[in-house]
Amino acid sequence: MTAGRAAVLDHGALHVRDVAYDDPGAGEVLVRLVASGLCHTDLGVIAGGIPFPAPGIIGHEGAGVVEKTGPGVTGVAAGDKVLLSFTSCGACDSCRSEHPAYCATWLPRNLLGDLREPGSGAVHGTDGDPIAAHFFGQSSFGTFALADERSVIRVDPATDLGVLAPLGCGVLTGFGSMWNVLRPGADDVVAVYGTGAVGLSGIIAAAARGPQMLVAIDLVHDRLTLARELGATHTINAATDDVGARLAEITGGHGVDLSFDTTGSPKVARGALDAAAVRGTVLVCGAPPPGTEIPVDIQGILTGKVLRGVTMGDADPRTLIPQLVALHAAGGLPLEKLERRYALDDIQQAADDMHHGRTVKPVIVF
């Protein structure tokens, strides 16, 4: 048993309290956390739009040092620096074909937190009460995480974990969605709806491929300015401009070839479909409440338009995260421009700042 502290979600709010961590079970790793990014998916759980058992520990962009390993763990050892990402079964068709984001058991293993192997370690309150703690195979809003080995990616001992923590979800999702799925070419017009951490990571990836146009769309002026710094050729402020009309103007009536909607808003997705070019693709991500539907005009998509969903950038973290670490080291992934650091005791302030657009990517440091 290891004593620690965690931000425990209960009754719609995060409460920092003392907790105790079991030793890791088979295939698990106890990680002493150095930092954790805060993601919009976490905000969705806090708001009650995404179900997760309470009281529980969420957080899914952890970074830290391996403290202990459970039976059968061979990929990491005590003392290794690691980044944490989502988990998967490793045995289904999607996992075997290097698409673990579409694991047959992805939802219960990650978002719902109710699928664990027999003998797994658990987290308890000081009075012994159970606390749910398997969010994305890690639950990183605490001083430790009991993580699945498949959630753990070993990195170089010189790695700055405080900077790279967001690679586990937000950056992985944004960069991977653009790099692995949309794959823009030199003749493409690309639009990114929403310039939070996911959207800005997508802009970085798209800019590296050099499309004809790269349009960033948001409600926050400062984020659009940052999008320009990161490679956007055009920006549209949706708070003041008619987005569809501006896209038609910018593209000379051609429309958008490749759209990436990071907002989770049905209205935004429908607007992206309306603004898409002939045979254009609209890729949507995010985690809105279950039952959220996108209205589609069938006549409007008969010109070959495609509406497609994506989870975690269709990425294998064990492949893409090391590449992103190397890209950051080479100066091609300026995460520092997105981040602001907060202490664990200030995690509710971090969530509020993110929700109101004051911070792009909060990073909780321990």
pTM of the model: 0.93
- Stretch 111-140: mean pLDDT, rounded? 83
Does residue 317 lie within any of the structural domains?
no
At 237, list the tokens.
Answer: 């402020």
Q: What is the mean pLDDT of residues 348-353?
A: 92
CB 177 within 8 Å of CB 283: yes
Query: What is the pLDDT at residue 113?
Result: 65
For residues 121 and 252, membership in a common domain is answered with no
Q: Residue 218 has what pLDDT?
A: 96
Count: domains in the chain: 2
pLDDT one-digit tens code per residue, 259-296? 999 998 999 999 999 999 999 999 999 777 778 899 99
Residue 115 has pLDDT above 70, yes or no: no
Check whether residue 194 and residue 162 sit in a common domain: no
Measuring CA to CA, how many Å separate 204 from each of 38, 125, 231, 329?
Answer: 20, 42, 6, 15
Does residue 188 belong to any structural domain of this protein? yes
Q: Note the pLDDT of residue 289.
A: 77
For residue 258, report the phi and psi dihedrals to the nearest 5 degrees.
-135, 115
Identify whether residues 120 and 35 lie together within a single domain: yes
Q: What tens digit of pLDDT does each residue of 161-217 get? A: 999 999 999 999 999 999 999 999 999 999 999 999 999 999 999 999 999 999 999
Give how far Cα 89 sits from Cα of 14, 25, 29, 96, 266, Å: 29, 16, 16, 10, 31
pLDDT (average), residues 32-48:
91
Examine residue 319 and state whether it is found in any structural domain, yes or no: no
- Structural domain includes residue 219: yes
For the chain, the first-to-last Cα distance in angstroms comes to: 19
- Facing residues of 261 across strands? 193, 284
Alpha-carbon Rg for the chain, nearest whole angstrom, is 20
- Whether residue 233 is contained in a domain is answered as yes
Give the structural domain span for 47.
2-168+334-365
126: confidence class by pLDDT, cuts 50, 70, 90? confident
Q: Which residue has the higher pLDDT, 49 or 180?
A: 180
| Assigned token pair, 183 | 């794959």
Model confidence at 12: pLDDT above 90: no
Tell me how far CA of residue 26 lies from CA of 22, 31, 84, 92, 116, in angstroms. Answer: 12, 15, 18, 19, 11
- Beta-sheet strands, E only, within 44-117: 62-69, 81-84
Residues 43 and 90 grouped into a single domain: yes
Closest CA to 340 of 162, 183, 184, 207: 162
CA distance 109 to 283: 24
Output the pLDDT for position 114: 61
Residues 210, 343 within the same domain: no
Range from 126-140, 251-265, 300-314 carrying the lowest mean pLDDT: 126-140
Q: Give yes or no for residue 251 having a pLDDT over 90.
A: yes
What pLDDT sits at residue 49? 78
For residue 62, is pLDDT > 70? yes
Q: What is the pLDDT of residue 190?
A: 98
The pLDDT score that the predictor gives to residue 121 is 81
Bridge partner residues of 192 (DSSP): 216, 260
Same domain for 191 and 158?
Answer: no
Q: How many CB atoms lie within 10 A of CB 256?
A: 26
Cα torsion 192, 170, 347, 35: sign: negative
> For residue 320, is it within any domain?
no
Amino acid at 359: T
Residue 117 has a pLDDT of 72
Q: Is residue 276 part of a domain?
A: yes
Banded pLDDT at 112 (limits 50, 70, 90): confident
14 and 156 co-located in one domain: yes
Q: Is there a domain that residue 203 lies in?
A: yes
Minimum mean pLDDT among 140-149, 339-348, 353-362: which range?
Answer: 353-362
Residue 355 is part of a domain; what is its CATH number?
3.90.180.10
Residues 162 and 184 in one domain: no
Do 272 and 348 belong together in one domain? no
Q: Which amino acid is at 221?
A: H
Same domain, 57 and 117: yes
- In a shared domain, residues 192 and 306: yes
Instruction: Tally DSSP H helices, then E strands, for the chain.
Output: 12, 17
What is the domain-level CATH number for residue 219?
3.40.50.720
Same domain, 110 and 244: no
- Report in angstroms the alpha-carbon separations of 235 from 207, 213, 228, 284: 14, 10, 7, 19
